[in-house]
Amino acid sequence: MNLKTRSDDLELLLAVIEFGGFSAAADALNIQVARISRSVNKIEKALGTSILIRTTRRIMLTEEGKKFIEAVSVGLTHIQHAEAAIAAQGKSPAGKLRIDAASPFIFHQLAPHISEFNQLYPNIDVELNSSEGFVDLIEKRTDVAIRIGRLEDSSLHAKALGKSELYIVASPEYIAQNGLPKSPTELNNYSLLGFSNIKALNKWPVRGLEIITPSITASNGETIRQLALSGNGIACLSGFMINKDIATGKLMTLLDAYRIKGTDRELVNAVYYQSSAVSERVTAFVDFIKPRLTL
């Protein structure tokens, strides 16, 4: 088998794409720009086509480059996983574990337990990344993602972590000033807090209520929680981030008689590629975190 391109050159090319330029990639990898430039030139010469379009301000992928990078990303990931699987045989879980979740889930459910996880698995280096939408695990180099809602990608292996009920909530101060809504139709008379980036999240699980029109919007649930706590209006939020607020009286639930339970939006899963060689790290983390979640 005679490959035209070397894996180390390909990794440098991917670094250029990931960090947005030759200099940025060189700084991140602590190597000379010239070395990266040589690798990219070698790849383009071997393929007989341009991979990158270089301008004074940024780099862009050619159409051929986009297809090539997509295939290379998958291929190198499989190689790395295969190497890690062999190296991990007979050893305790070790190496990098990249975890992706929505920022409120990280704040309220993951971050409080990372110290204990590090004590139990000192050889696993945890990297937490927050994304408010679904991410491509390979593209973002993510090992395991916590996803809330119905799963679409059948190529992913999923482990159910539980269900987190959705509640319609407001601060007692807001209700004291504006009165208690007695039916879903009355919500039109109140300030409603919703999402600016994922419109589907503005469809609340309340009978007789269509998608809401928010008075104030935010891009993530934690910001909406803070707005609700500060008395800015009524919100629909998952229990995993507001159970304590409800228990301590900082937020009160509304329209419970109209609330629809058991929707897909309550589902919480850990997802990853089943063939992943980091599965020992993933399994260690998922088995550790599941009983500690307060969904």
User: Where in the chain are the domains?
Assistant: 7-87, 100-156+273-292, 166-261
What are the tens digits of pLDDT across the range 115-129? 999 999 999 999 998
Average pLDDT over residues 247-255: 96
In CATH terms, the fold of domain 166-261 is: D-Maltodextrin-Binding Protein; domain 2 (3.40.190)
- Judge if 7-87 and 100-156+273-292 fold alike in CATH terms: no
Q: Which of 225, 214, 216, 224 is nearest to 187 (CA)?
A: 214
pLDDT of residue 1: 39
**Which position has the higher pLDDT, 96 or 136?**
96
Nearest 5 degrees, angle CA 67-CA 70-CA 72? Answer: 105
Q: What is the mean pLDDT of residues 161-179?
A: 95
What's 153's DSSP letter? -
Radius of gyration of the chain (CA): 23
* Percentage of the chain lying above the pLDDT 90 cut: 38
**pLDDT above 90 (res 230):** yes
Helix (H) or strand (E) holding 119: helix 114-120
DSSP character at residue 260: P
Pick the CATH number of 7-87 from 1.10.10.10, 3.40.50.150, 1.20.120.350, 3.40.50.970: 1.10.10.10
Class of the 100-156+273-292 domain?
Answer: alpha beta
Q: Which stretch of 1-5, 23-27, 149-153, 275-279 has the lowest confidence by average pLDDT? A: 1-5
Per-residue b/e over 216-226, b at no fewer than 16 CB within 10 Å?
bbbebbbbbbe
DSSP-assigned letter for residue 293: -
Q: What is the pLDDT of residues 193-228, one digit of tens each?
A: 999 888 888 999 999 888 899 999 998 899 999 999
Given this model, what pLDDT does residue 81 score? Answer: 59
Residue 2: pLDDT band (50, 70, 90) is very low
